[in-house]
Amino acid sequence: MGRLFAPVDIASLVFFRIAFGLLMLWEVSRYFSNGWIQRDYIDPVFHFSYYGFGWVQPWPGYSMYLHFLALAALALCIAFGLWYRVSTVLFFLGFAYVFLIDQAYYLNHFYLIVLFGFLLIFVPAHRSFSVDALRRPEIRSGTAPAWALWVLMAQMALVYFHAGLAKLNSDWLRGEPMRSRLASKTDFPLVGALYTEEWVAYLFSYGGLLLDLLIVPLLLWRRTRLVAFVFALGFHLMNSQLFGIGVFPWFAIAATTLFFPPSWPQRFVGFLRGLRRNPRRQEEASERGREEEQETREENVTSAAVPARLRARQWVVFSLLGVFLAVQLLVPLRHFLYPGNVSWSQEGHRFAWHMLLRDMDAKGRLYATDPESGRTWQIDLSEYLTRRQASNMLRWPDMTLQFSHWIGEKYRAQGHEQIEVRARVLASLHGREPQFLIDPTVDLTKQPRTLAPAPWVLPLEEPLPPPA
């Protein structure tokens, strides 16, 4: 356990803090420039809440604009290391709040931002090159405990690992959905004409699989670290250009730099300045840092009770880190507990790093039936949902169930005491022939909303078509 609390150079943590803050500022600014605040959080009548978080609702009126302005200001504070502890706490709470408002907008990288935002609360990345360190010289330090770096590395390693593990499914190994996605990108400069070639689909599929599974071991080994980073850099930049997945590629690149030696930013700056660092001098500097750390410890140890308290604190940190990482390791594996093809049922998909893993087209309608009058009518989804919400709902059975419960309550309040709601959704996964996703005979208002497998979701029966 001692290695977890050994001092390491703080430079890489400082770089990540700055990158995180600036990337979050860019991400928040996109909500203003693209009109997403109005479209996604103010206009909708109904929001698809996460299981257990129905109490999370948008601020009334135009207050969501103020919320995003606050997030932008907090992101800047994190980048500059200003009121760092308060800023990280508030940013985490504020971004997690936005994330939890509507699961129709779920994206893996939003969840990743929430997790890293949470971890940064505890990581002392403000001890150097920050406004806080200028204002409060007593916190200034060139080192940080090793656990602060390792926990961020472990979180990114788990993302890569689970993304690779999720790709070990029959569709991915047969080239889908990369084949279909690449076929729509033939206008890509220089190499777009190759995207309809069968070998290219397999190259992207198996290349992505191997990179996700092998990148962390290769980054951890000094001899392959630089080559591995170059491959990761190319992978994320290609994804950024091909698939338009927002901030994630840049965020992943910044997080992947954490696998380099902690002092890499200083060495990189020195390299740019044309300076040749003396390894012996670096070693002496590190030794001086360790000696200063030891002297500080010795000064603080004024009684036998102090070391005991330090050890107790270390065990608390160690235990909390273990619990956090265990949750991050196990939660993404829960999709193995669901029967059938989870890319079809979507069960266990969220929080599992199933990135770019499935393409589903779905069209459908919801019908309400009043048994007392015998009348059946089609529910006008546009009256309650935005186009994006409705499109996502038809691909996610659990969201269709949630909306059916809500609209059922609305109709009951209007006097339709025995209202029934059914869905006729035809879906196609990875170019298969369309089939019913939800049993059209089932009254969804009578089905409980649980985390257990849904018996009313029909199993995938259509085979994957052969390559065109």
pLDDT at position 312 is: 79
What are the φ/ψ torsions at residue 143 (nearest 5 degrees)? Answer: -130, 165
Claim to verify: residue 310 and residue 384 sit in the same structural domain: no
Type of residue numbered 95: F
Instruction: Tell me, yes or no, whether 281 lies in a domain.
Output: no
**pLDDT (tens digit, 9 = 90+) per residue, 268-282?**
787 777 745 555 554
Q: Which domain holds residue 155?
A: 2-262+301-327
**Is the predicted pLDDT of residue 299 greater than 50, yes or no?**
no
Q: Give the residue carrying structure tokens 């920050």.
A: 130
- Of 214-228, 288-302, 416-430, 446-460, the poorest mean pLDDT is in 288-302
Percent share of the chain, pLDDT over 70: 92
pLDDT at position 300 is: 44
Claim to verify: residue 257 and residue 365 sit in the same structural domain: no
Instruction: Tell me, yes or no, whether 116 lies in a domain.
Output: yes
Q: Give the residue carrying structure tokens 């299981």.
A: 51
Q: Helix 387-395 vs helix 397-413: angle between axes, to the nearest 10 degrees?
A: 120
Instruction: Tell me, yes or no, whether 113 lies in a domain.
Output: yes
Claim to verify: residue 85 and residue 226 sit in the same structural domain: yes
Claim to verify: residue 159 and residue 201 sit in the same structural domain: yes
**Is the predicted pLDDT of residue 363 greater than 50, yes or no?**
yes
Instruction: Tell me, yes or no, whether 107 lies in a domain.
Output: yes
**Residue 431 to residue 460: CA distance in whole angstroms:** 13
Mean per-residue pLDDT for 205-218? Answer: 96
pLDDT at position 235 is: 94
Claim to verify: residue 322 and residue 413 sit in the same structural domain: no
Mention every residue, 6+ apart, whose C-beta is less than 8 A from residue 347: 335, 338, 398, 453, 454, 457
The model's pTM: 0.90
Claim to verify: residue 305 and residue 438 sit in the same structural domain: no
Average pLDDT, the chain: 91
Claim to verify: residue 231 and residue 365 sit in the same structural domain: no
Mean per-residue pLDDT for 163-184? Answer: 94
Claim to verify: residue 305 and residue 415 sit in the same structural domain: no
Q: Give the residue carrying structure tokens 């029959």.
A: 170
**Is the predicted pLDDT of residue 360 greater than 90, yes or no?**
yes
Mean per-residue pLDDT for 68-86? Answer: 98
**Residue 210 to residue 208: CA distance in whole angstroms:** 6
Claim to verify: residue 143 and residue 205 sit in the same structural domain: yes
Claim to verify: residue 126 and residue 33 sit in the same structural domain: yes
**pLDDT (tens digit, 9 = 90+) per residue, 380-432?**
999 999 999 999 999 999 999 999 999 999 999 999 999 999 999 999 999 99
**Is the predicted pLDDT of residue 298 greater than 80, yes or no?**
no
Reference 172, options 140, 209, 117; nearest CA is 209
> How sure is the predictor about 296, in pLDDT bands with cuts at 50, 70 and 90?
very low
Mention every residue, 6+ apart, whose C-beta is less than 8 A from residue 295: none
> How sure is the predictor about 367, in pLDDT bands with cuts at 50, 70 and 90?
very high
Mean per-residue pLDDT for 134-143? Answer: 95
pLDDT at position 305 is: 59
Instruction: Tell me, yes or no, whether 345 lies in a domain.
Output: no
**Is the predicted pLDDT of residue 183 greater than 50, yes or no?**
yes
Mean per-residue pLDDT for 362-373? Answer: 96
Mean per-residue pLDDT for 4-8? Answer: 92
Instruction: Tell me, yes or no, whether 214 lies in a domain.
Output: yes
Instruction: Encode the chain in three state secondary structure.
Output: CHHHHCEEECHHHHHHHHHHHHHHHHHHHHHHHCCHHHHHHHCCCCCCCCCCCCCCCCCCCCHHHHHHHHHHHHHHHHHHCCCHHHHHHHHHHHHHHHHHHCHHHCCHHHHHHHHHHHHHCCCCCCCCCCHHHHHCHHHCCCEEEHHHHHHHHHHHHHHHHHHHHHCCCHHHHCCCCHHHHHHCCCCCCCCHHHHHCHHHHHHHHHHHHHHHHHHHHHHHCHHHHHHHHHHHHHHHHHHHHHHCCCCHHHHHHHHHHHHCCCCHHHHHHHHHCCCCCCHHHHHHHHHHHHHHHHHHHHHHCCCCHHHHHHHHHHHHHHHHHHHHHHHHHHHHHHHHHCCCCHHHHCCCCCCCCCCCCCCEEEEEEEEEEECCCCEEEECCHHHCCCHHHHHHHHHCHHHHHHHHHHHHHHHHHCCCCCCEEEEEEEEEECCCCCEECECCCCCHHHCCCCCCCCCCECCCCCCCCCCC
Higher per-residue confidence, 306 vs 387: 387
Claim to verify: residue 64 and residue 162 sit in the same structural domain: yes
Instruction: Tell me, yes or no, whether 191 lies in a domain.
Output: yes
**Is the predicted pLDDT of residue 457 greater than 90, yes or no?**
yes
What are the φ/ψ torsions at residue 350 (nearest 5 degrees)? Answer: -70, 150
Claim to verify: residue 311 and residue 412 sit in the same structural domain: no
Instruction: Tell me, yes or no, whether 280 lies in a domain.
Output: no
Number of domains in the chain: 2
pLDDT at position 166 is: 95
Q: Give the residue carrying structure tokens 């090159």.
A: 129
**Residue 379 to residue 46: CA distance in whole angstroms:** 14
Token readout for 74 is 């907090």
- Of 84-98, 170-184, 292-306, 401-415, the poorest mean pLDDT is in 292-306
